[in-house]
Chain A
Amino acid sequence: MTTAKTKRDYSLVGESTRRAIETGLASAEWYHTDVPRKTMKELMQRSDGPAIRDTIIWLAAIVGSAAGIVWLWGSWWVVPFLFVYGVLYGSSSDSRWHECGHGTAFRTRWMNDAVYHIASFMLMRNPVQWRWSHARHHTDTIIVGRDAEIAVMRPPDLLKAALAFTGILDFRYSLPTLVRQAFGTLSEDEKSYIPEMERHKAVVAARWHMAVYATTIVFAIALRSWIPLVLVGLPRLYGTWHMVMTGLLQHIGLADNVVDHRLNTRTVYMNPISRFIYWNMNYHVEHHMFPMVPYHALPRLHELIKHDLPEPNPSMWHAYREVWPVLLRQLKYEDYYLKRELPPTARPYRGEFHEVDMSAAAE
Protein backbone atom coordinates (compact mmCIF):
# COMPACT_ATOMS: atom_id res chain seq x y z
CA MET A 1 0.00 0.00 0.00
CA THR A 2 2.96 2.37 0.19
CA THR A 3 5.25 3.94 -2.34
CA ALA A 4 8.44 2.87 -0.54
CA LYS A 5 11.59 2.87 -2.72
CA THR A 6 9.74 4.65 -5.52
CA LYS A 7 10.14 8.32 -6.37
CA ARG A 8 7.06 10.27 -5.53
CA ASP A 9 5.26 11.92 -8.42
CA TYR A 10 3.15 14.75 -7.05
CA SER A 11 1.30 15.56 -10.26
CA LEU A 12 -2.37 14.66 -10.03
CA VAL A 13 -2.43 12.86 -13.35
CA GLY A 14 0.82 10.86 -13.18
CA GLU A 15 2.31 7.60 -12.02
CA SER A 16 1.53 8.06 -8.30
CA THR A 17 -2.07 8.88 -9.20
CA ARG A 18 -2.40 5.69 -11.17
CA ARG A 19 -0.86 3.67 -8.36
CA ALA A 20 -3.04 5.28 -5.66
CA ILE A 21 -6.17 4.41 -7.62
CA GLU A 22 -4.96 0.90 -8.40
CA THR A 23 -4.04 0.06 -4.80
CA GLY A 24 -7.24 1.47 -3.33
CA LEU A 25 -5.49 4.32 -1.50
CA ALA A 26 -7.57 6.84 -3.43
CA SER A 27 -11.04 7.45 -1.99
CA ALA A 28 -10.35 4.90 0.73
CA GLU A 29 -12.20 4.22 3.97
CA TRP A 30 -10.39 6.17 6.75
CA TYR A 31 -9.97 5.44 10.41
CA HIS A 32 -12.34 7.21 12.80
CA THR A 33 -12.36 7.22 16.55
CA ASP A 34 -15.69 5.95 17.86
CA VAL A 35 -17.94 8.74 19.05
CA PRO A 36 -21.57 8.00 19.95
CA ARG A 37 -23.99 9.48 17.43
CA LYS A 38 -25.77 11.54 20.09
CA THR A 39 -22.52 13.20 21.17
CA MET A 40 -21.41 13.74 17.60
CA LYS A 41 -24.74 15.32 16.78
CA GLU A 42 -24.25 17.79 19.60
CA LEU A 43 -20.73 18.59 18.47
CA MET A 44 -21.82 19.12 14.86
CA GLN A 45 -24.54 21.62 15.80
CA ARG A 46 -24.20 24.92 13.97
CA SER A 47 -24.78 28.37 15.34
CA ASP A 48 -24.15 31.82 13.96
CA GLY A 49 -23.21 33.39 17.29
CA PRO A 50 -19.49 32.54 17.70
CA ALA A 51 -18.62 33.23 14.05
CA ILE A 52 -20.57 36.52 13.97
CA ARG A 53 -18.73 37.65 17.10
CA ASP A 54 -15.35 36.60 15.68
CA THR A 55 -16.09 38.12 12.27
CA ILE A 56 -17.06 41.46 13.79
CA ILE A 57 -13.78 41.49 15.75
CA TRP A 58 -11.88 40.40 12.64
CA LEU A 59 -13.40 43.01 10.31
CA ALA A 60 -13.15 45.77 12.93
CA ALA A 61 -9.47 44.97 13.44
CA ILE A 62 -8.91 44.97 9.67
CA VAL A 63 -10.62 48.33 9.20
CA GLY A 64 -8.92 49.79 12.29
CA SER A 65 -5.43 48.72 11.26
CA ALA A 66 -6.06 49.86 7.66
CA ALA A 67 -7.07 53.28 9.01
CA GLY A 68 -3.83 53.33 11.02
CA ILE A 69 -1.83 52.56 7.88
CA VAL A 70 -3.47 55.36 5.91
CA TRP A 71 -3.12 57.78 8.83
CA LEU A 72 0.51 57.03 9.66
CA TRP A 73 1.84 56.29 6.18
CA GLY A 74 5.28 57.82 5.83
CA SER A 75 6.28 57.42 9.48
CA TRP A 76 7.77 54.46 11.32
CA TRP A 77 4.65 54.30 13.46
CA VAL A 78 2.95 52.62 10.54
CA VAL A 79 4.93 49.40 11.13
CA PRO A 80 2.81 47.89 13.94
CA PHE A 81 -0.32 48.62 11.91
CA LEU A 82 1.19 46.90 8.88
CA PHE A 83 2.05 43.97 11.11
CA VAL A 84 -1.50 43.59 12.40
CA TYR A 85 -3.20 44.31 9.07
CA GLY A 86 -0.87 41.96 7.22
CA VAL A 87 -1.58 39.03 9.53
CA LEU A 88 -5.32 39.64 9.49
CA TYR A 89 -5.40 39.91 5.72
CA GLY A 90 -2.68 37.46 4.71
CA SER A 91 -3.00 34.81 7.41
CA SER A 92 -6.29 34.78 9.29
CA SER A 93 -8.09 34.82 5.95
CA ASP A 94 -6.84 31.26 5.46
CA SER A 95 -8.76 29.87 8.42
CA ARG A 96 -11.85 31.90 7.45
CA TRP A 97 -11.60 30.57 3.93
CA HIS A 98 -11.23 27.09 5.34
CA GLU A 99 -14.05 27.06 7.87
CA CYS A 100 -16.51 28.89 5.63
CA GLY A 101 -15.57 26.61 2.74
CA HIS A 102 -16.62 23.67 4.88
CA GLY A 103 -19.79 25.58 5.69
CA THR A 104 -19.32 25.00 9.40
CA ALA A 105 -18.40 28.45 10.70
CA PHE A 106 -21.91 29.91 10.53
CA ARG A 107 -25.22 28.13 10.54
CA THR A 108 -26.53 30.50 7.86
CA ARG A 109 -25.34 29.55 4.42
CA TRP A 110 -25.02 33.04 2.92
CA MET A 111 -22.81 34.15 5.80
CA ASN A 112 -20.44 31.26 5.14
CA ASP A 113 -20.43 32.09 1.45
CA ALA A 114 -19.84 35.81 1.95
CA VAL A 115 -16.85 35.33 4.25
CA TYR A 116 -15.59 32.49 2.03
CA HIS A 117 -15.46 34.80 -1.00
CA ILE A 118 -13.84 37.69 0.88
CA ALA A 119 -11.21 35.37 2.36
CA SER A 120 -10.56 33.65 -0.98
CA PHE A 121 -9.91 37.05 -2.53
CA MET A 122 -7.48 38.02 0.23
CA LEU A 123 -5.60 34.76 -0.30
CA MET A 124 -5.52 35.08 -4.10
CA ARG A 125 -7.29 31.74 -4.28
CA ASN A 126 -9.85 30.97 -6.89
CA PRO A 127 -12.89 30.22 -4.69
CA VAL A 128 -14.26 27.59 -7.08
CA GLN A 129 -10.99 25.79 -7.74
CA TRP A 130 -10.02 25.72 -4.08
CA ARG A 131 -13.37 24.42 -2.92
CA TRP A 132 -12.77 21.38 -5.08
CA SER A 133 -9.10 21.01 -4.23
CA HIS A 134 -9.98 21.06 -0.55
CA ALA A 135 -12.62 18.40 -1.01
CA ARG A 136 -9.90 16.27 -2.59
CA HIS A 137 -7.57 17.07 0.31
CA HIS A 138 -10.16 15.61 2.65
CA THR A 139 -10.83 12.55 0.53
CA ASP A 140 -7.17 11.74 -0.04
CA THR A 141 -5.23 13.53 2.68
CA ILE A 142 -1.50 13.41 1.83
CA ILE A 143 -2.02 10.64 -0.71
CA VAL A 144 0.70 11.34 -3.26
CA GLY A 145 -0.71 11.89 -6.74
CA ARG A 146 -4.17 12.67 -5.38
CA ASP A 147 -3.96 15.41 -2.78
CA ALA A 148 -3.66 18.85 -4.39
CA GLU A 149 -2.72 20.53 -1.11
CA ILE A 150 0.52 18.88 -0.02
CA ALA A 151 2.56 21.80 1.28
CA VAL A 152 5.93 20.11 1.67
CA MET A 153 6.72 17.31 -0.74
CA ARG A 154 9.44 14.69 -0.35
CA PRO A 155 12.32 15.02 -0.40
CA PRO A 156 11.58 18.35 1.29
CA ASP A 157 12.72 21.55 -0.38
CA LEU A 158 13.77 23.41 2.74
CA LEU A 159 14.62 26.64 0.94
CA LYS A 160 11.18 26.68 -0.57
CA ALA A 161 9.61 26.00 2.83
CA ALA A 162 11.60 28.87 4.35
CA LEU A 163 10.66 31.23 1.51
CA ALA A 164 7.01 30.32 2.03
CA PHE A 165 7.08 32.46 5.18
CA THR A 166 7.63 35.52 3.00
CA GLY A 167 4.70 34.68 0.74
CA ILE A 168 6.87 35.25 -2.33
CA LEU A 169 6.50 31.80 -3.83
CA ASP A 170 2.81 31.57 -3.20
CA PHE A 171 2.31 35.06 -4.64
CA ARG A 172 4.32 34.10 -7.70
CA TYR A 173 2.16 31.03 -8.12
CA SER A 174 -1.25 32.41 -7.17
CA LEU A 175 -1.32 35.57 -9.23
CA PRO A 176 -0.24 34.01 -12.56
CA THR A 177 -2.67 31.17 -11.86
CA LEU A 178 -5.54 33.63 -11.53
CA VAL A 179 -4.44 35.42 -14.69
CA ARG A 180 -4.31 32.13 -16.61
CA GLN A 181 -7.71 31.11 -15.30
CA ALA A 182 -9.16 34.53 -16.11
CA PHE A 183 -8.12 33.89 -19.71
CA GLY A 184 -10.12 30.66 -19.58
CA THR A 185 -7.38 28.07 -19.18
CA LEU A 186 -7.41 25.44 -16.46
CA SER A 187 -4.41 23.16 -15.99
CA GLU A 188 -4.65 19.37 -16.30
CA ASP A 189 -4.22 19.05 -12.53
CA GLU A 190 -7.07 21.51 -11.93
CA LYS A 191 -9.28 19.67 -14.37
CA SER A 192 -8.58 16.44 -12.49
CA TYR A 193 -10.53 17.67 -9.47
CA ILE A 194 -12.89 20.38 -10.80
CA PRO A 195 -15.90 18.75 -12.48
CA GLU A 196 -16.64 19.94 -15.98
CA MET A 197 -19.90 21.64 -15.04
CA GLU A 198 -18.07 23.83 -12.49
CA ARG A 199 -15.12 24.92 -14.62
CA HIS A 200 -16.72 27.98 -16.15
CA LYS A 201 -17.48 29.24 -12.63
CA ALA A 202 -13.76 29.05 -11.84
CA VAL A 203 -13.02 31.21 -14.88
CA VAL A 204 -15.67 33.78 -13.90
CA ALA A 205 -14.34 33.93 -10.32
CA ALA A 206 -10.78 34.51 -11.57
CA ARG A 207 -12.06 37.36 -13.76
CA TRP A 208 -13.70 39.05 -10.77
CA HIS A 209 -10.49 38.83 -8.79
CA MET A 210 -8.48 40.29 -11.64
CA ALA A 211 -11.01 43.10 -12.05
CA VAL A 212 -10.53 44.12 -8.39
CA TYR A 213 -6.74 44.04 -8.75
CA ALA A 214 -6.92 46.12 -11.93
CA THR A 215 -9.12 48.67 -10.15
CA THR A 216 -6.67 48.79 -7.24
CA ILE A 217 -3.78 49.47 -9.63
CA VAL A 218 -5.78 52.23 -11.33
CA PHE A 219 -6.42 53.79 -7.92
CA ALA A 220 -2.76 53.57 -6.98
CA ILE A 221 -1.75 55.30 -10.22
CA ALA A 222 -4.48 57.93 -9.95
CA LEU A 223 -3.55 58.72 -6.35
CA ARG A 224 0.20 58.35 -7.04
CA SER A 225 0.33 56.26 -3.89
CA TRP A 226 1.38 52.78 -2.83
CA ILE A 227 -1.34 52.65 -0.19
CA PRO A 228 -4.02 50.94 -2.32
CA LEU A 229 -1.57 48.14 -3.13
CA VAL A 230 -0.34 47.90 0.44
CA LEU A 231 -3.95 47.39 1.49
CA VAL A 232 -5.07 45.14 -1.37
CA GLY A 233 -2.84 42.38 -2.72
CA LEU A 234 0.52 43.01 -1.08
CA PRO A 235 -0.51 41.78 2.39
CA ARG A 236 -0.42 38.38 0.71
CA LEU A 237 3.35 38.90 0.87
CA TYR A 238 4.04 40.65 4.11
CA GLY A 239 1.30 39.10 6.23
CA THR A 240 1.39 35.49 5.25
CA TRP A 241 3.97 34.24 7.76
CA HIS A 242 1.50 33.26 10.47
CA MET A 243 -0.56 31.17 8.05
CA VAL A 244 2.60 29.34 6.97
CA MET A 245 3.89 28.95 10.52
CA THR A 246 0.68 27.27 11.67
CA GLY A 247 -0.31 25.61 8.41
CA LEU A 248 2.97 23.83 7.73
CA LEU A 249 2.57 21.96 10.99
CA GLN A 250 -0.64 20.33 9.84
CA HIS A 251 1.12 17.49 8.04
CA ILE A 252 4.84 18.20 7.65
CA GLY A 253 7.20 15.28 8.28
CA LEU A 254 4.39 12.84 9.01
CA ALA A 255 3.38 9.78 7.01
CA ASP A 256 2.02 9.92 3.48
CA ASN A 257 -0.08 7.30 1.69
CA VAL A 258 -1.85 6.12 4.85
CA VAL A 259 -5.55 6.15 5.70
CA ASP A 260 -5.37 7.17 9.33
CA HIS A 261 -5.27 10.87 10.14
CA ARG A 262 -3.47 10.10 13.39
CA LEU A 263 -0.46 9.18 11.25
CA ASN A 264 -0.42 12.04 8.75
CA THR A 265 -1.89 14.97 10.67
CA ARG A 266 -0.81 16.85 13.77
CA THR A 267 -2.59 18.55 16.63
CA VAL A 268 -0.59 21.32 18.31
CA TYR A 269 -1.54 23.36 21.37
CA MET A 270 -1.28 27.07 20.61
CA ASN A 271 -1.62 30.40 22.35
CA PRO A 272 -5.05 32.10 22.26
CA ILE A 273 -4.03 34.77 19.72
CA SER A 274 -2.80 32.19 17.24
CA ARG A 275 -5.92 30.17 17.87
CA PHE A 276 -8.07 33.18 17.03
CA ILE A 277 -6.09 33.82 13.85
CA TYR A 278 -6.18 30.12 13.01
CA TRP A 279 -9.75 29.51 14.19
CA ASN A 280 -8.79 26.43 16.21
CA MET A 281 -7.37 24.57 13.22
CA ASN A 282 -4.52 23.57 15.52
CA TYR A 283 -6.87 20.69 16.43
CA HIS A 284 -6.13 19.33 13.03
CA VAL A 285 -6.40 15.59 13.55
CA GLU A 286 -9.82 16.19 15.04
CA HIS A 287 -10.81 18.39 12.10
CA HIS A 288 -9.76 15.82 9.52
CA MET A 289 -11.50 12.97 11.29
CA PHE A 290 -14.71 14.92 11.76
CA PRO A 291 -14.90 17.84 9.31
CA MET A 292 -18.52 18.44 10.28
CA VAL A 293 -17.55 19.80 13.68
CA PRO A 294 -17.34 23.62 13.68
CA TYR A 295 -14.15 25.34 14.80
CA HIS A 296 -15.65 26.49 18.10
CA ALA A 297 -16.48 22.89 19.09
CA LEU A 298 -13.05 21.44 18.26
CA PRO A 299 -11.63 21.89 21.79
CA ARG A 300 -14.57 19.84 23.12
CA LEU A 301 -14.05 17.19 20.45
CA HIS A 302 -10.37 17.10 21.32
CA GLU A 303 -11.13 16.40 24.99
CA LEU A 304 -13.47 13.63 23.95
CA ILE A 305 -11.15 11.71 21.63
CA LYS A 306 -7.64 12.56 22.79
CA HIS A 307 -7.33 9.13 24.45
CA ASP A 308 -7.25 7.70 20.91
CA LEU A 309 -4.81 10.20 19.37
CA PRO A 310 -1.07 10.78 19.65
CA GLU A 311 -0.15 13.26 22.35
CA PRO A 312 -0.48 16.78 20.84
CA ASN A 313 2.66 18.87 20.55
CA PRO A 314 2.60 21.25 23.53
CA SER A 315 3.68 24.23 21.37
CA MET A 316 4.58 25.22 17.83
CA TRP A 317 8.20 25.49 18.89
CA HIS A 318 8.11 21.92 20.18
CA ALA A 319 6.51 20.69 16.95
CA TYR A 320 9.14 22.37 14.76
CA ARG A 321 11.97 21.09 16.95
CA GLU A 322 10.55 17.60 16.73
CA VAL A 323 10.16 17.64 12.96
CA TRP A 324 13.41 19.35 11.99
CA PRO A 325 15.64 16.23 12.24
CA VAL A 326 12.99 14.27 10.36
CA LEU A 327 13.12 16.74 7.46
CA LEU A 328 16.91 16.57 7.39
CA ARG A 329 16.73 12.79 7.22
CA GLN A 330 14.12 12.92 4.48
CA LEU A 331 16.60 14.84 2.30
CA LYS A 332 18.46 11.55 1.97
CA TYR A 333 15.73 8.98 2.61
CA GLU A 334 12.46 10.32 1.40
CA ASP A 335 10.51 7.36 2.80
CA TYR A 336 11.43 8.35 6.33
CA TYR A 337 8.72 9.98 8.41
CA LEU A 338 7.82 10.86 11.95
CA LYS A 339 5.63 8.19 13.46
CA ARG A 340 3.94 9.66 16.49
CA GLU A 341 3.29 7.20 19.32
CA LEU A 342 -0.24 6.45 20.44
CA PRO A 343 -1.18 6.35 24.11
CA PRO A 344 -2.01 2.90 25.57
CA THR A 345 -5.71 3.85 25.55
CA ALA A 346 -5.76 4.22 21.74
CA ARG A 347 -6.78 1.72 19.11
CA PRO A 348 -3.53 0.70 17.37
CA TYR A 349 -2.57 1.84 13.89
CA ARG A 350 -3.49 -0.58 11.12
CA GLY A 351 -0.08 -1.93 10.12
CA GLU A 352 -0.98 -2.72 6.53
CA PHE A 353 -1.28 0.96 5.71
CA HIS A 354 2.06 2.20 6.99
CA GLU A 355 4.58 -0.55 6.60
CA VAL A 356 7.40 1.52 5.19
CA ASP A 357 10.84 0.02 5.65
CA MET A 358 12.72 2.76 7.44
CA SER A 359 15.72 0.63 8.39
CA ALA A 360 18.00 2.35 5.88
CA ALA A 361 17.07 5.77 7.21
CA ALA A 362 17.63 4.68 10.81
CA GLU A 363 21.25 3.66 10.14
Chain B
Amino acid sequence: MADWVEACAVDDIEEEDVIRFDHGGRSFAVYRSPDDEFFATDGYCTHERAHLADGLVMDDIIECPKHNGRFNYKTGQAKGAPVCVNLATYPVRIEAGKVMIQI
Protein backbone atom coordinates (compact mmCIF):
# COMPACT_ATOMS: atom_id res chain seq x y z
CA MET B 1 0.00 0.00 0.00
CA ALA B 2 1.54 3.31 -1.07
CA ASP B 3 2.00 5.98 1.60
CA TRP B 4 1.09 9.64 1.52
CA VAL B 5 4.08 11.73 2.51
CA GLU B 6 4.46 15.45 3.00
CA ALA B 7 6.69 16.86 0.27
CA CYS B 8 6.64 20.56 1.08
CA ALA B 9 4.40 23.49 1.89
CA VAL B 10 2.26 24.92 -0.89
CA ASP B 11 4.17 28.20 -0.72
CA ASP B 12 7.53 26.51 -1.14
CA ILE B 13 6.90 26.27 -4.88
CA GLU B 14 6.40 29.32 -7.04
CA GLU B 15 3.73 29.27 -9.70
CA GLU B 16 4.93 27.50 -12.89
CA ASP B 17 7.93 26.02 -11.12
CA VAL B 18 9.31 22.81 -9.70
CA ILE B 19 11.26 21.75 -6.61
CA ARG B 20 13.13 18.65 -5.59
CA PHE B 21 11.89 16.31 -2.87
CA ASP B 22 13.95 13.38 -1.59
CA HIS B 23 12.42 10.61 0.46
CA GLY B 24 13.46 7.09 1.42
CA GLY B 25 16.44 7.06 -0.92
CA ARG B 26 14.31 8.22 -3.85
CA SER B 27 14.10 11.58 -5.51
CA PHE B 28 11.01 13.33 -6.84
CA ALA B 29 10.09 16.54 -8.63
CA VAL B 30 7.06 18.42 -7.34
CA TYR B 31 5.41 20.93 -9.68
CA ARG B 32 3.07 23.86 -9.35
CA SER B 33 1.31 24.56 -12.65
CA PRO B 34 0.39 28.03 -13.97
CA ASP B 35 -3.23 27.31 -12.96
CA ASP B 36 -2.12 26.54 -9.42
CA GLU B 37 -2.40 22.77 -9.45
CA PHE B 38 0.24 20.46 -7.99
CA PHE B 39 1.85 17.39 -9.56
CA ALA B 40 4.69 14.99 -8.80
CA THR B 41 6.97 12.85 -10.93
CA ASP B 42 10.20 10.95 -10.55
CA GLY B 43 13.00 13.43 -9.99
CA TYR B 44 15.46 12.17 -12.55
CA CYS B 45 15.09 12.38 -16.30
CA THR B 46 14.59 9.06 -18.09
CA HIS B 47 17.29 9.88 -20.64
CA GLU B 48 20.37 10.41 -18.49
CA ARG B 49 20.99 11.41 -14.92
CA ALA B 50 19.80 14.99 -14.61
CA HIS B 51 17.39 16.24 -11.98
CA LEU B 52 14.27 17.80 -13.40
CA ALA B 53 14.03 20.25 -10.50
CA ASP B 54 16.81 22.19 -12.24
CA GLY B 55 14.69 22.36 -15.39
CA LEU B 56 12.14 24.78 -16.73
CA VAL B 57 8.37 24.51 -16.33
CA MET B 58 6.38 25.89 -19.27
CA ASP B 59 2.63 25.38 -19.13
CA ASP B 60 2.30 21.60 -18.63
CA ILE B 61 5.83 20.81 -19.79
CA ILE B 62 8.98 20.23 -17.79
CA GLU B 63 12.14 20.66 -19.82
CA CYS B 64 15.18 18.77 -18.64
CA PRO B 65 18.22 20.93 -17.90
CA LYS B 66 20.73 18.61 -19.55
CA HIS B 67 19.57 18.06 -23.14
CA ASN B 68 16.28 19.96 -23.11
CA GLY B 69 14.19 16.79 -23.31
CA ARG B 70 10.53 17.54 -22.59
CA PHE B 71 7.88 15.71 -20.58
CA ASN B 72 4.29 16.49 -19.78
CA TYR B 73 4.61 16.51 -15.99
CA LYS B 74 0.87 15.95 -15.57
CA THR B 75 0.90 12.65 -17.45
CA GLY B 76 4.59 11.79 -17.49
CA GLN B 77 4.52 11.50 -21.28
CA ALA B 78 7.88 11.91 -23.03
CA LYS B 79 7.46 14.47 -25.82
CA GLY B 80 10.24 13.38 -28.17
CA ALA B 81 14.00 12.93 -28.57
CA PRO B 82 16.17 12.81 -26.62
CA VAL B 83 13.60 11.57 -24.15
CA CYS B 84 11.82 8.43 -25.30
CA VAL B 85 10.75 6.82 -22.01
CA ASN B 86 7.84 8.25 -20.02
CA LEU B 87 8.28 9.59 -16.54
CA ALA B 88 6.54 7.99 -13.54
CA THR B 89 3.94 10.27 -11.97
CA TYR B 90 2.48 10.20 -8.45
CA PRO B 91 -0.87 11.28 -7.04
CA VAL B 92 -0.81 14.58 -5.19
CA ARG B 93 -3.24 16.18 -2.75
CA ILE B 94 -3.16 19.33 -0.66
CA GLU B 95 -3.80 19.06 3.06
CA ALA B 96 -3.74 22.09 5.32
CA GLY B 97 -1.33 23.98 3.12
CA LYS B 98 0.96 20.98 2.62
CA VAL B 99 1.68 19.16 -0.63
CA MET B 100 1.23 15.43 -0.03
CA ILE B 101 2.37 12.85 -2.57
CA GLN B 102 1.52 9.18 -2.67
CA ILE B 103 4.62 7.07 -3.17
Given the interface pairs A27-B49, A41-B17, A292-B56, the reply to whether A132 lies near B82 with Cβ below 8 Å is yes
Tally chain A residues at the interface, Cβ within 8 Å.
Answer: 22
The interface stretch among B21-29, B34-42, B61-69, B95-103 is B61-69
Q: Which residues of B contact A195 (CB under 8 A)?
A: 84
A138 to B58, CA, bound (A): 22
B32 to chain A: closest CB distance in Å? Answer: 13
A43 to B7, CA, bound (A): 27
* Interface 9-mer from A99-107, A148-156, A170-178, A303-311: A99-107
Question: Do A292 and B48 touch (CB < 8 A)?
Answer: no
Complex Cα–Cα for A18 and B23 (A): 34
Considering only CB atoms and an 8 Å cut-off, how many residues of chain B contact the other chain? Answer: 17
Determine if B81 and A107 form an interchain contact, defined as CB atoms under 8 angstroms apart: no
Q: Chain A's nearest CB lies how many Å from the CB of B77? A: 14
Q: Is B70 an interface residue (CB 8 A)?
A: yes
B67, A46: Cβ atoms under 8 Å? no
Residues of chain B lying within 8 A (CB to CB) of residue A292: 55-56, 63, 65, 68
Query: Most B CB atoms within 10 A — which of A27, A197, A292?
Result: A292
Instruction: Please measure, in the bound complex, the distance between the C-alpha atom of A41 and the C-alpha atom of B15, giving whole angstroms.
Output: 12
Tell me whether A46 and B48 are in contact (CB under 8 A).
no
Q: Are B81 and A131 in contact (CB under 8 A)?
A: yes
Q: Please determine whether A198 and B81 come into contact, CB atoms closer than 8 angstroms.
A: yes
Interface string of A102-130 (1 = CB under 8 A from B): 11100101000000000000000000100
Distance of A96 from chain B, by nearest CB (Å)? 15
Bound: A45/B59 CA distance, A: 12
- CB-CB < 8 A to B17: which residues of A? 41
A135 at the interface (CB under 8 A from B): yes
* A246 contacts the other chain (CB 8 A): no
**B97 CB, nearest partner CB in chain A, Å:** 22
Alpha-carbon gap, A9 to B56, bound state (A) = 37
* Given contacts A41-B56, A46-B58, A103 and B68 within 8 Å (CB-CB): yes
Shortest distance from the beta carbon of B66 to any chain A beta carbon, whole Å: 7
Rounded to whole Å, the gap between the CB of B18 and the closest CB of chain A is 10
> Which chain B residues lie closer than 8 Å to A197 at the CB level?
84
B67, B70, B79: which has the most chain A beta carbons within 10 Å?
B67
Mark each residue of chain B from 1 to 28: 1 if its CB lies under 8 Å from any CB of chain A, else 0. 0000000000000000100000000000
Return chain A residues, CB-CB under 8 Å to B82.
131-132, 135
Residues in A whose Cβ lies below 8 Å from that of B58: 46, 107
> Is A102 touching B48 in the complex (CB atoms < 8 A)?
no
Docked CA distance A330–B47 (Å): 36
Specify which of A44, A45, A109, A138 is in contact with B67 (CB 8 Å cutoff): A138
Bound complex: CA A182 to CA B39 (Å):
43
Distance in angstroms from B84 CB to nearest chain A CB is 6
In whole Å, how far is A70's beta carbon from the nearest beta carbon of chain B?
Answer: 37
A291 adjacent to B68 (CB under 8 Å): yes
Alpha-carbon gap, A138 to B64, bound state (A)? 13
A166 close to B (CB within 8 Å)? no
B68: which of A102, A128, A132 is its contact (CB, 8 Å)? A102
C-alpha spacing A290/B55, complex, angstroms: 10
B90 to chain A, nearest CB (A): 22
Interface string of A256-281 (1 = CB under 8 A from B): 00000000000000000000000000
Nearest CB to that of B56 among chain A residues? Answer: A44
Q: Is A313 an interface residue (CB 8 A)?
A: no
A139→B55 contact, CB < 8 A: no
Tell whether, in the assembled complex, residue B70 and residue A103 are in contact, meaning their CB atoms are under 8 Å apart. Answer: yes
Q: Contacts of B66 on A, CB cut-off 8 Å?
A: 138-139, 291
Q: Can you list 25 A-B pairs with a CB-CB distance of less than 8 A?
A: A41-B56, A44-B56, A45-B56, A46-B56, A102-B67, A102-B68, A103-B68, A103-B70, A109-B70, A109-B79, A128-B81, A131-B81, A131-B82, A132-B81, A135-B81, A138-B66, A139-B66, A139-B67, A197-B84, A290-B65, A291-B67, A292-B55, A292-B56, A292-B63, A292-B68
3 nearest CB pairs, A to B: A135-B67, A135-B82, A44-B56
Q: Which residues of A contact B (CB under 8 A)?
A: 27, 41, 44-46, 102-104, 107, 109, 128, 131-132, 135, 138-139, 195, 197-198, 290-292
Q: A41-B56, A131-B81, A131-B82 are in contact. List 7 more A-B contacts (CB 8 A).
A: A135-B47, A138-B66, A139-B66, A139-B67, A195-B84, A290-B65, A291-B65
